[in-house]
Structure 1
Amino acid sequence: MGEPEEGGGGGGGGLRRGSLALLTDLYQFTMAYGYWRGGRHREPAHFELFFRRCPFQGAFAHCAGLGECLAFLRAFRFSPADIEYLESVLPVTTDKAFFDYLLTVDASEVSVSSVPEGSVVFSKVPLFQVKGPLLVVQLLETTLLCLVNYASLVATNAARFRLAAGPHKKLMEMGLRRAQGPDGGLSASRYSYMGGFDFTSNVLAGKLYGIPLRGTVAHSYVSSFTSLAEVNPRSLLPLGSKEEPVDFLSLVETWLSQVCQLLHVPLDQVNYGELAAFVSYAITFPHNFQGLVDTYCVMKSGIPNFCAVALALNELGYRAIGVRLDSGDLAKQSVEIRCLFRTCSRHFQVPWFETVPIAVSNDVSELSLKELTQEGNEIDMIGVGTHLVTCPLQPSLGCVYKLVEVNGCPRLKVTEDKEKATIPGSKVVYRLWDAAGFPCMDLLALEEESPPRAGQEVEFWPLGGAEGAGKVTPAAVEILHRVYLKNGQVCQPLPSLLEIRNHALASLSKLNPAHKRLQEPEAYQVAMTEKLHILLTALQRDSQ
């Protein structure tokens, strides 16, 4: 536990160092100049960061990116070089004193309230509440959105994959080569782990964030071998033995003959280049041998070769860690492979062999993962790349950052598009829980209102166009947001990435199954108090 490192937080430092103050849109500076020139730059202001629709046509999302946002805010300031560049791009009529003022700007008067990172969140409920001088909190908009949007989207996507896979399958993120650049790749590894994945193939993410790593060989390694003559060295020392090394290649060939006879596979159908690759890799990593079995024919070459090598390793005291499939009908092949492993286990009297882990990959999507589950399979680990890190079903979460109060006066955006209208005023958000132990409503209230109480009836007005008031009696009530930054200082310890992951999994587990459905979920209720509804209605009427 501790404060976030610059560019890091939530489990270790990132690639970002120093200030990201210029990582924003140009119009933030033109607005800032307008505030400054009008003498309004120090007016106290309150912004909220939220999304209007839940991603992937679902009913929930995960809040992610808080640690990186706090690191950004702690480092927020303009260097002389930054100011020199701004002078070159803003209109020549810009008062030079404005640039002198920007040199004094930082986030030392900014406060941020947020839901705990990893929490389940819903549309129109603020993820962040940001308060501070108007000019400063305006300048923060784009960067905060950048740090939250993709992080929350990937974490939510990962959570959906976890729901589709079920709780017992291991999930590995392997999307670096398809990610949107190195920073996108690192963010994807970090936030997919937060959302429920178990491993990553990304070595730098493992180093920076402590995410467990997995990975063995590619098809290129297997196809690079053409014959057993290429195996070098060919010997292996038995585990825990002080004897001479054994000619492992010869031992494998003996086992291959027995395996092929048992599985009714002709020896002349086995690819010996593939066998050479397996033998070479097993000698190199006898404790970590995994066979990539689909470079050639899975059932007539890959599996017999794997079994021969794994059984030879077993004879010397080692245990293979599994096989991987990267093509074909993954569910059907996994069932067939498990059947062969059980046959070998019984015939050769090697009990652990029937439970050899089966890992799969091959452009796995949420839909194909759901189909795998429905078909029935014997898969233990699933590798997901493109469909996880690029989020093709919805490439952007669409978080927005809207002004809700200036100088103590509520503000709202009034538009013909009702979905884009905002909810005015500084607010407290309460999460109401039902008697079954599920969250049933997020209730937005003005800060000065008395909080709802467990066991007492609460009148509410639904958001999203529903007409009329309703009533609910919560079994429990919690305040959703916590203050993480007060006057520029992190004011409570931040959890590690592992702790955030555990919180995300726990938060999702408490959600009603009706809201967790991947298709056609029941919408979660978000509402406001009567007093907030009266304020909103009055401001809407006055703006007409």
Structure 2
Amino acid sequence: MTISEKELTIAPQEYSLLTDLYELTMIACYAGENIATKPASFELFVRHLPEGFGYLIAMGLEQVLEYLERLSFSEVQIEALKEIGIFDNAPAEFWSLLRAGTFTGDVWAVPEGTAIFANEPFLRIDAPLWQAQLVETYILNTINYQTLIATKAAKMRDMAGERTSLLEFGTRRAFSPQGAIWAARAALAAGFNSTSNVLAALKLGEKPTGTMAHALIMAIDAIAGNEDAAFEAFLKYFPTAPLLIDTYDTVAAAERLRERVAANEMKVTGVRLDSGDLAELSQKVRSQLPDINIFVSGDIGEAEIARLQKEGAAIDGYGVGTKLVTGKPVNGVYKLVDIDNIPTMKQSSSKATYPGRKQIFRTIKEGCLQRERLGLADETANNGEQSLLQLMMQNGKRKLNSETLDTIRQRTAKSVTSLPSATRQIDNPTPVEVEISNALESLRIEVEKRLSKNSTMNN
């Protein structure tokens, strides 16, 4: 396969070019100025939580580590870059870096499923400057999207409770086929029970879950002359699958099923409702079929789940699609915080950052978050504090084995339940206040003075 091939699928060996152009142009500049191999640290964080979010659930680290392990440039890729003409003036060292290009740095990150807040780093990359710069685009893409899905999934699980089934139905609404796979993974890791995406389920070692569409009911009804023939046909091949009963008259369908079940003519384990007043309809269906599981779908989100739970809906599971895999983005940013052991920071209006390599210190007592402190990486944790950022990769090699979805799912649940109720509420949540350590604040003032002095000298 060549770079010019029109099929827009991505193979792992192409990940090195899945980057924004300016990452490469900056690397060429670094190479020409003889600073490309200087040690650098970049941190990924959000300046502000998305509207309506009280926290974020960090997700996507596994795919970041996989990417870094495979990072390299082939001669075909290097020749393709040369042919476009943009790098005609790039120094020879630039091409030497790419040819030798594998990731040799360290990765510090919070474990997937950890709740975090604004200005707290999801991860830090400590690596030669050109490597740390190159990986920005892919890391942001991976972390931002999976964190969005994981956070929404965690909120839905929190609203639905532990016993209610949550099914991920978002593949047709996800932003791309790759996004659909990541969305399924993030949802499962954050508390969902299953996904309808067959490929994602099989890749993740899970069993896909689904029901049927209205098309099957309509097709068989049109030919056979009645809706029940469609139910019978489907149960013949999938005897434990739920039946979709709202194609025509939901209550009438439930009544007929009750009669068939009572006469031992049919065994029904579950039904799905996809439209109408779901609270009222679920209660009516429960009165007809008290021993079956009732699933609902149709534009379901965390607010709708909370409303239905509050109204006493008779619902055993939710199928969630659009409102899980889309939404306001997690605007994670990736900023340089240290270069050649010199702490640095951005001072732009409304986009200022904290300098230096950092650590998150969290105090949990009796399962509840008591204090959150952002400090420098070389600070010592106080009594009772946990240091959240862990060394996940050293010198380009993993330090820990991949975690199972169950492990991440349990961490997510524990992390969410530790948060204050005001932070977990759906309407106007209150994020946890993150304290800035004295050492970090002192460094910020020191770096700010240095940068101001340099600015004055340049003027």
Match of 1:245 in 2: none
Match of 2:344 in 1: 411
Match of 2:301 in 1: 365
Per the TM alignment, residue 294 of structure 1 is displaced from its structure 2 partner at its CA by 1.0
Distance in 2, matches of 1:226 and 1:412, equals: 66
Moved over 4 A (4+): none
Paired letter, 2:389 = H
Q: Equivalent residue of 2:127, what SS?
A: strand
Paired letter, 2:362 = R
Larger Rg: 1
Confirm or deny that 1:382 pairs with 2:290. no
Distance in 2, matches of 1:211 and 1:385, equals: 18
Give the 5 Å matches for 1:331-346. Answer: 331-341=279-289
Paired letter, 1:405 = D
Give the 5 Å matches for 1:164-179. Answer: 164-179=159-174
Any conservation in 2 of the 1:19–1:75 contact (CA below 8 Å)? no
Q: Equivalent residue of 1:81, what SS?
A: helix
**Which of 233, 244, 253 is the matching residue for 1:280?**
233
Match of 2:187 in 1: 192
Match of 2:332 in 1: 399
Per the TM alignment, residue 374 of structure 1 is displaced from its structure 2 partner at its CA by 2.1
Q: Equivalent residue of 2:402, what SS?
A: coil
Distance in 2, matches of 1:198 and 1:16, equals: 29
**Which of 377, 382, 390 is the matching residue for 1:453?**
382
Distance in 2, matches of 1:477 and 1:57, equals: 28
Distance in 2, matches of 1:80 and 1:427, equals: 37
Paired letter, 1:408 = N
Distance in 2, matches of 1:50 and 1:525, equals: 16
Distance in 2, matches of 1:226 and 1:432, equals: 60
Any conservation in 1 of the 2:31–2:93 contact (CA below 8 Å)? no
Q: Equivalent residue of 1:430, what SS?
A: strand
Give the 5 Å matches for 1:489-504. Answer: 489-504=397-412
| 1:151-201 Cα shifts (integer Å, max 9, x gaps) | 101100111122222333211111111211211111111111112111211
**Which of 270, 287, 290 is the matching residue for 2:242?**
290
Per the TM alignment, residue 289 of structure 1 is displaced from its structure 2 partner at its CA by 4.5
Match of 2:21 in 1: 26
Distance in 2, matches of 1:441 and 1:508, equals: 15
Any conservation in 2 of the 1:223–1:273 contact (CA below 8 Å)? no
Any conservation in 2 of the 1:274–1:305 contact (CA below 8 Å)? no
Distance in 1, matches of 2:304 and 2:241, equals: 28
Match of 1:526 in 2: 434
Any conservation in 2 of the 1:200–1:213 contact (CA below 8 Å)? yes
Distance in 1, matches of 2:241 and 2:208, equals: 15
**Which of 44, 51, 58 is the matching residue for 2:53?**
58
Match of 2:421 in 1: 513
Match of 2:455 in 1: none
Per the TM alignment, residue 284 of structure 1 is displaced from its structure 2 partner at its CA by 2.5
Distance in 2, matches of 1:184 and 1:491, equals: 27
**Which of 85, 89, 95 is the matching residue for 1:93?**
89
Root-mean-square deviation (CA), in Å? Answer: 2.0
Structure 1 residues 148 and 289 mapped into 2: Cα distance closer, same or farther (>3 Å)? Answer: closer
Match of 1:428 in 2: 359
Distance in 1, matches of 2:412 and 2:445, equals: 36
Per the TM alignment, residue 436 of structure 1 is displaced from its structure 2 partner at its CA by 4.8
Any conservation in 2 of the 1:45–1:405 contact (CA below 8 Å)? yes
| 1:3-60 Cα shifts (integer Å, max 9, x gaps) | xxxxxxxxxxx98533511111101111101111111011111111111122342221
Give the 5 Å matches for 1:118-137. Answer: 118-137=113-132
Q: Equivalent residue of 2:37, what SS?
A: coil
Any conservation in 2 of the 1:310–1:319 contact (CA below 8 Å)? yes
User: Structure 1 length normalisation: TM-score?
Assistant: 0.78
Paired letter, 1:306 = L
| 1:51-76 Cα shifts (integer Å, max 9, x gaps) | 11223422211110111000000001
Confirm or deny that 1:481 pairs with 2:433. no
Per the TM alignment, residue 210 of structure 1 is displaced from its structure 2 partner at its CA by 2.3
Distance in 1, matches of 2:241 and 2:57, equals: 36
Match of 1:35 in 2: 30
Any conservation in 2 of the 1:440–1:524 contact (CA below 8 Å)? no
Segments of structure 2 that go 5 or more residues without pairing to the other structure are 1-8, 453-459
Q: Equivalent residue of 1:18, what SS?
A: helix
Distance in 2, matches of 1:495 and 1:329, equals: 40
Q: Equivalent residue of 1:388, what SS?
A: helix
Distance in 1, matches of 2:388 and 2:395, equals: 21
Distance in 2, matches of 1:27 and 1:38, equals: 16
Match of 2:98 in 1: 102
Any conservation in 2 of the 1:291–1:306 contact (CA below 8 Å)? no
Any conservation in 2 of the 1:125–1:442 contact (CA below 8 Å)? no
Per the TM alignment, residue 104 of structure 1 is displaced from its structure 2 partner at its CA by 0.7
Any conservation in 1 of the 2:358–2:374 contact (CA below 8 Å)? yes
Moved more, 210-219 or 405-414: 210-219
Distance in 1, matches of 2:362 and 2:108, equals: 15
| Matched-pair identity in % | 33
